[in-house]
Structure 1
Amino acid sequence: MMRPPVVLFYFLLIMSEGFAVSIRPRRSVSFQDLNLKQFKESGFSRLSSLMIRDDIGQLVVGARGKVLTLSLGDITQKTSEANWTVSSADNALCQTKGKDTKECDNFIRTLHTMEDGKMLVCGTNAFNPECDYMTFTNGSISLEGSKHVGRGKVPYDPDQRFASLMSENTLYSAAYSNFLSTELVFQRHGLNPLKTEMIRSWFNEPTMISISLAEASKNSEDGEDDNVFLFFTETAVEERHDNIQVSRIARVCKSDLGGERTLQRKWTSFLKARLDCPFGSAGLSSLVQDAFLLQDPNNWRDSIFYATFTANSESSGACSQSAVCAYKLSDINQVFSGRFLTEMDTGRWDTYSGEEPFPHPGSCINDELRAKGMMSSLDFTDKSLQFVKSHPLMEGVVTPIAGKPLLVRTGIRFSKIVVDQVTSLDGRQHQVMLIGTDSGWLQKAVRFDGEDGRVIEELQLFQTSQPVNFLQFSFRTGQLYSGANNIAVQVNVRDCSRYTSCDDCLLARDPYCCWDKFRAQCASVVGALLGSMIQSLTDGDIQMCPISKMKHKPVIIYLIPGSVQFLPCSPETNLPISWHFSESLILTGPRHTVLSQGLIIRPSNSDSGIYTCETVETVKGKVHRKTVVQYFVEVQDTNTLFRTLRVAVIILAGLSCLLMLLMGSALVIGHLKAKKLNHIGCGNANNNKEMIIVRPYCHYDQTLDQHMEEGLVHCDQAREQSGETTLVLPGCPVAKVAEEELEAENDNRCTFIETTG
């Protein structure tokens, strides 16, 4: 019987299968294997803002006490730097207010580009927010020194969430506007400043997420106004139970001027609605984490918001769930054109059933209203504005396209999202979702018509686990930029080089990639020559590929009947695997345990033959199999095995050393003081027993269980065993030779079998 440590290893290996995520990315690329560029330097810490400037070829980075510019093509090249630190007096004053010295610095939280190319820069400035303007001239940035109050434009606290947007030199922001963080205001700054009312029905303990502009005025036949949308979470006032967090979307009109008497310098168009993304356990609210607007240039109503959600803000690890939901602007505006909720005298919220004033409360000015003499919000009646003030919440719920998420993942938490639109070879448009996680990975996902969303690949952006809080994408170059505490990274998400065969390239169904038949490589679809490229996003049709002549050579393994062997299978992808013995599918049974990492086998005398590990991928009901590795297993009795190994080792040693002699290398023959064997996976054998090492597979005889201290994994390490004479030849396998031991039976030996690769 196997000793407890051995049993424990196999138990843990088998149990780990149960923790595999049901919908895994097709491929995972670790930080070490990802060809990314990163910027790090001494004194650069607390990255707090990120902005792409395609027009000047720069990535602008805000951090603690400074702003940097990095080359957009290669961020390892710093082009300029501007320092903006706080004075010792401001730092001391901040600390007297009870703040930690680490917080009492200037963290650059806002970077926006003005119409003339200047940049608005705002920082926390030791809990006294300030803004300045910055220029980029002759390859260098410089602050103008025209500092002005930044209260409400950025938060006081460097770690507090907020949102901001710049449109035509006008700044929109949603942030706490006081030191104690008790007054959160969604406002427009500039010549016609407006802000929200400090009423519980407008905001109730909110967390701001993002602000977006929908350009409804472009190509509009009705003279419609642009819409500004705000995403946030808050405690629901309409729920009977306290502390229920919900997701919201709010809308205001860009040309809103406030009211003449009621709602002076306040939004007259502020409406909000619940935002639904149904997934996870019943009763759990889905909380929005980020939103990205993909504009339709022809019809703004067909524009789509893509938003990331988590099922529960408290959960983490294997129990957490995340999703991406998409919302059409026409559906959102339909909710804002609907009925309202109202608070009853009892404190309960119900549908408003009374008469609504004209125009519909919260409406934006259009040609229809202009024809009736309403040229701006200043022309709205007090009755209409009073209704808006007391009824900001809509009855309807904004639901996603098709009523369900595009993508759901278990065991991770989504954070930021951007969406790129790609034209495939057949001229169709496909949306690639680029999603950051709280563990520092990027998910590259797609959803084709009639299918669930799937993650093509996930990329590890940071070497250590930390949230992706910044995600910027250059649609011109296809480069994605992100950052963590003291590092900025750049990665090409359109890279197709990881698909090494035509089959893999087409089955991945990556909208960025197609197979170049002339160059025999997977290449970007951007700029592809139609005659030489093939792509099959809908079906993954690999029959389009040239016939491959590659064949796998079986790895030869010798086993003893009843011994336990682990045959590893490590595909480049995360696809499920299957095992075949000859032509028969292997299922888990008394002698086989099929795992995602390989096969545990306890062979009998009849189990000699070819074992094949394949990946299995199903596209549109068609199963595709690809061989990963093959083993030729020969089951032998102990004596035959040892004689074969002895001859093989001696021949290999002789050939290798002859080669070394021809190369001028000297032979070294020595007697080594052996030490107790400590081999991960094979356990410790008795002292004064023989061992043969030929690399890299191993097995142990069942009669040795009493000597095993660890379970079988891999033969990665070996140290000499005490009391044995060892022949050491430079560049040769290590062979311990004792003929009388080799021919003995049941001598409590631990045998290691490794090929010389």
Structure 2
Amino acid sequence: MMKSQVELLCVLIIMSGGFAQSLKPRRSVSFSGVNLKLFKKPDFDGLSSLLVREDIGLLFIGARGKVMTLRLDDITEKTSEINWMVTSREKALCKVKGRSIEECDNYITMMHTQDDGKILVCGTKAFDPTCTHLMFQEGKVTMEDSFQNGRGKIPFKPDEKFASLMNGNSLYTAGSINFLGTVTFFQRHGKPSLRTEQIWSWLNEPTIISIKFAEISKHSNNNEDDSVFLFLTEIENRNQRNKLRLSTVARVCKSDLGGLRILQRKWTSFLKARLDCPFGHEGSESVVQDVFFLQDENNVTDSIFYATFTLSSKPSSTCSQSAVCAYKLSDIQQVYRGNVMSATDSGSWCINDEMRKENVRTSHDIPDRTLMFVKNHFLIEQAVKPISGRPLLVRSMVQFSRIVVDKVTSLDGQQHNIMFISNNSGWLQKAVWSGDDGGRIIEELQLFQDPQPIRFLQLSSRSGQLYSATRTAVAQLSVRDCSRYTSCADCLTARDPYCGWDRLRGLCAAVAGASNLSMIQNLTDGDVGICPNSHWSTKSIDIHLTVDVAQFLPCSPDTNLPISWSFSGNILEPGPRHILLSQGLVLTPSFTDEGLYTCETVEVVKGREHRMAVILYNIKVSEDIHLVGKEFSKQDWGY
């Protein structure tokens, strides 16, 4: 099947699911056109963790057998390297257990900053998980010479999916705890340590995605406890035969101490609900891939979880589709207050003022009968629905992976949430969503020259830098780079919340910290009428053609916008002498076809049509096959 046929098929599938079309980026920028910094070394591979430390200006990279630090403002400068290798004996013992040479190295898969500034770092250590600490003192990074057992904190296998979160000095993890990777727990380490019950229905063949913490008590009306959320996919309990994989969000309470007799050292507050992201054809599975938690500083319950989904977990799927869905924390809380499956009792279980009135001050005070019910009734009937009831954006022929979100203040004081979404081919989508005109992809950027999955995305909002990584390279990108918008019209119609037109300097620049007196921006409809008057105009190219001899006139805008042709000021319609193509015009002229041909991009924003000239041809027609006038170079033809 041809590529165009596959794309058409994907569009039809999306339309059958109730969505008009798959969003297309306004602009696509290949690797050579992206202004970024790249860290890549011949002996560097197996990158398995990433940690941003804004307080000391360093990016920590965990890889195979080493931890490196790079400068946050310029990752091409390495500031330290600490080797943490396995011994030949450890590697030999690992190989005896049936593991490959590559698996038997030490992959640094987890790094977290503690309250004392130390970094907890754990490595697979030849299938013998081990942890220690990194310290930063007097500008130097050192590693402690004492080590602890890391089993249960990280999986044995280097490439196995797991999640971890450090809150204060409390470590939460979700992943397999045994050599074969067959037993998975969601647990809190320390005192008291808690974990999920080892019942298949609590975690049914899970694929772990992410752990997030919400400080709910900060804005709770009834002093409800803080919550820890686990996002995962698992086999539906009621559909074991068909192995239907569902996306799920589970929740436990921070102050949970476990039960006194029932559920000892187990979560008493464990609840989970299905995560709904409706797109694609009926009966398809939307599988969550990554989650980013954007906290609202004024009211934590208004915080939003942004999640990427794909319709198939198989990268080889011919017609892959991806989406981004967003969920409000308050909506998730409301779902957890609903009925649990196969019972009319409501969920929640986190300690609040209502429970304290009943003398239930900790989980140790919960009656055994209630805990026995909790143990067997933890799945909420109602699914969590996304904001607006549908995805923020949908794309076909793309496999979304990671997502981070930045909150940006525009010149008018309004706030906008900018999504950065990576895919499995080394590209990054920059997108925004608003209730007025839905989701739109401002641009997509190729961050890595070789097609490969982007495994990590970390954002430093303070400096406006985005850090992405594959297994073999790290890229640094300024999210406030506005240099790709080369004119005022392009700058404004792109409606990029980061960017505005600087009237004094005559260029598109970041609006952060800028004054309304010198900058203009229009995110509502991209009206270019507020642009300063410009005497610049596109110069026409004189072309001499011969009657009835077909000639291709190329038009290649630097955006993905559709093009339109006009002839002597009138829209050019297709005909025997005018064949309109996506990249140009085939003209078979007569003497009446002499005149000015203009190729323009056409962009419609909230009913307002914006046209920008790309190239102009001044066509002269004669019977003589020999050209009159100058000879033309590739530059003359718009190449």
Tell me by how many angstroms 1:469 deviates: 1.0
Q: What amino acid is aligned across from residue 628 of structure 1 in structure 2?
A: V
Tell me by how many angstroms 1:315 deviates: 5.5
Report the CA distance shift for 1:127/1:315 in structure 2 as closer, same or farther (over 3 A): closer
Give the corresponding residue for 2:307: 307
Q: Does 1:590 align with 2:576?
A: yes
Report the CA distance shift for 1:503/1:756 in structure 2 as closer, same or farther (over 3 A): closer
Q: Does 1:631 align with 2:617?
A: yes
Aligned 8 A contact 1:164 1:211 in 2: yes
Aligned 8 A contact 2:554 2:583 in 1: yes
Tell me by how many angstroms 1:587 deviates: 3.1
Tell me by how many angstroms 1:475 deviates: 1.1
Give the corresponding residue for 2:76: 76
Task: Tell me the distance in 2 between the aligned counterparts of 1:594 and 1:145.
Answer: 70
Report the CA distance shift for 1:254/1:97 in structure 2 as closer, same or farther (over 3 A): same
1:26-425 alignment runs, 5 A limit? 26-239=26-239, 241-314=241-314, 316=316, 319-342=319-342, 352-353=343-344, 356=345, 360-425=346-411
Task: Tell me the distance in 2 between the aligned counterparts of 1:434 and 1:315.
Answer: 20
Aligned 8 A contact 2:307 2:325 in 1: yes
Output one character per residue of 1:476-499: Cα deviation in whole Å (capped at 9) or x when no partner: 101000111221110001111111
Tell me by how many angstroms 1:549 deviates: 1.5
Tell me by how many angstroms 1:574 deviates: 1.2
Report the CA distance shift for 1:175/1:756 in structure 2 as closer, same or farther (over 3 A): closer
Tell me by how many angstroms 1:287 deviates: 0.5
Identity %: 56
Tell me by how many angstroms 1:311 deviates: 1.4
Q: Does 1:452 align with 2:438?
A: yes
Report the CA distance shift for 1:315/1:37 in structure 2 as closer, same or farther (over 3 A): closer
Count of residue correspondences:
628
Per the alignment, in what secondary structure is the counterpart of residue 529 of structure 2? Answer: helix
Give the corresponding residue for 1:696: 634
Aligned 8 A contact 1:362 1:388 in 2: no
Tell me by how many angstroms 1:204 deviates: 1.0
Report the CA distance shift for 1:617/1:318 in structure 2 as closer, same or farther (over 3 A): farther
Counterpart selection for 1:491 from 454, 469, 477:
477
Tell me by how many angstroms 1:181 deviates: 0.9
Report the CA distance shift for 1:105/1:151 in structure 2 as closer, same or farther (over 3 A): same
Q: What amino acid is aligned across from residue 458 of structure 2 in structure 1?
A: Q
Q: Does 1:642 align with 2:626?
A: yes
Unaligned ranges ≥5, structure 2: 12-20
Tell me by how many angstroms 1:169 deviates: 0.8
Aligned 8 A contact 2:219 2:301 in 1: no
Aligned 8 A contact 2:24 2:441 in 1: yes
1:496-507 alignment runs, 5 A limit? 496-507=482-493
1:570-719 alignment runs, 5 A limit? 570-637=556-623, 640-642=624-626, 644=628, 648=630, 695-696=633-634
Q: What amino acid is aligned across from residue 56 of structure 1 in structure 2?
A: I
Give the corresponding residue for 1:479: 465
Residue range with higher mean Cα deviation, 472-481 or 238-247: 238-247
Aligned 8 A contact 2:347 2:380 in 1: no
Tell me by how many angstroms 1:69 deviates: 0.5
Q: Does 1:569 align with 2:555?
A: yes
Task: Tell me the distance in 2 between the aligned counterparts of 1:407 and 1:200.
Answer: 34
Residue range with higher mean Cα deviation, 317-326 or 200-209: 317-326
Tell me by how many angstroms 1:447 deviates: 1.1
Task: Tell me the distance in 1 between the aligned counterparts of 2:246 and 2:56.
Answer: 41
Tell me by how many angstroms 1:22 deviates: 4.9
Q: What amino acid is aligned across from residue 219 of structure 1 in structure 2?
A: H
Tell me by how many angstroms 1:607 deviates: 2.1
Report the CA distance shift for 1:427/1:755 in structure 2 as closer, same or farther (over 3 A): closer
Output one character per residue of 1:563-600: Cα deviation in whole Å (capped at 9) or x when no partner: 33221111121111111122232233333332221122
Aligned 8 A contact 1:341 1:393 in 2: yes
Aligned 8 A contact 1:501 1:522 in 2: yes
Report the CA distance shift for 1:583/1:149 in structure 2 as closer, same or farther (over 3 A): same
Unaligned ranges ≥5, structure 1: 1-11, 343-351, 650-693, 698-753
Per the alignment, in what secondary structure is the counterpart of residue 363 of structure 1? Answer: coil
Counterpart selection for 1:545 from 531, 541, 559:
531
Residue range with higher mean Cα deviation, 49-58 or 153-162: 153-162
- Which gives a bigger RCO, structure 1 or 2 (Cα 8 Å, sep 6+)? 2
Task: Tell me the distance in 2 between the aligned counterparts of 1:282 and 1:301.
Answer: 32
Task: Tell me the distance in 2 between the aligned counterparts of 1:221 and 1:392.
Answer: 25
Report the CA distance shift for 1:317/1:441 in structure 2 as closer, same or farther (over 3 A): farther
Task: Tell me the distance in 1 between the aligned counterparts of 2:579 and 2:161.
Answer: 49
Per the alignment, in what secondary structure is the counterpart of residue 42 of structure 2? Answer: coil
Q: What amino acid is aligned across from residue 203 of structure 1 in structure 2?
A: L
Per the alignment, in what secondary structure is the counterpart of residue 181 of structure 1? Answer: coil
Tell me by how many angstroms 1:238 deviates: 2.4
Tell me by how many angstroms 1:319 deviates: 1.4
Q: What amino acid is aligned across from residue 696 of structure 1 in structure 2?
A: K
Aligned 8 A contact 1:80 1:139 in 2: no
Tell me by how many angstroms 1:628 deviates: 0.2
Q: What amino acid is aligned across from residue 196 of structure 1 in structure 2?
A: T
Q: What amino acid is aligned across from residue 355 of structure 2 in structure 1?
A: L
Aligned 8 A contact 1:175 1:208 in 2: yes
Q: What amino acid is aligned across from residue 607 of structure 1 in structure 2?
A: D
Residue range with higher mean Cα deviation, 106-115 or 33-42: 33-42
Output one character per residue of 1:164-189: Cα deviation in whole Å (capped at 9) or x when no partner: 00001111001100011110111000
Q: With structure 1 as the length reference, what TM-score do the two structures score? A: 0.80
Task: Tell me the distance in 2 between the aligned counterparts of 1:61 and 1:73.
Answer: 15
Q: What amino acid is aligned across from residue 202 of structure 1 in structure 2?
A: W
Report the CA distance shift for 1:86/1:613 in structure 2 as closer, same or farther (over 3 A): same
Task: Tell me the distance in 1 between the aligned counterparts of 2:263 and 2:4.
Answer: 65
Per the alignment, in what secondary structure is the counterpart of residue 330 of structure 1? Answer: helix
Q: What amino acid is aligned across from residue 614 of structure 1 in structure 2?
A: E
Task: Tell me the distance in 1 between the aligned counterparts of 2:545 and 2:634.
Answer: 14
Give the corresponding residue for 1:710: none
Per the alignment, in what secondary structure is the counterpart of residue 490 of structure 2? Answer: helix
Tell me by how many angstroms 1:550 deviates: 1.4
Tell me by how many angstroms 1:80 deviates: 0.6
Q: With structure 2 as the length reference, what TM-score do the two structures score? A: 0.95
Q: What amino acid is aligned across from residue 256 of structure 2 in structure 1?
A: D
Task: Tell me the distance in 1 between the aligned counterparts of 2:4 and 2:277.
Answer: 35
Task: Tell me the distance in 2 between the aligned counterparts of 1:28 and 1:620.
Answer: 22
Per the alignment, in what secondary structure is the counterpart of residue 559 of structure 1? Answer: strand
Task: Tell me the distance in 1 between the aligned counterparts of 2:617 and 2:404.
Answer: 44
Output one character per residue of 1:48-67: Cα deviation in whole Å (capped at 9) or x when no partner: 11010000000000000000
Per the alignment, in what secondary structure is the counterpart of residue 382 of structure 2? Answer: strand
Tell me by how many angstroms 1:268 deviates: 0.5
Aligned 8 A contact 1:217 1:225 in 2: yes
State the structure with more CA Rg.
Answer: 1
Aligned 8 A contact 1:37 1:74 in 2: yes
Per the alignment, in what secondary structure is the counterpart of residue 105 of structure 2? Answer: coil
Task: Tell me the distance in 2 between the aligned counterparts of 1:85 and 1:240.
Answer: 42
Q: What amino acid is aligned across from residue 361 of structure 2 in structure 1?
A: M
Task: Tell me the distance in 1 between the aligned counterparts of 2:542 and 2:347.
Answer: 78
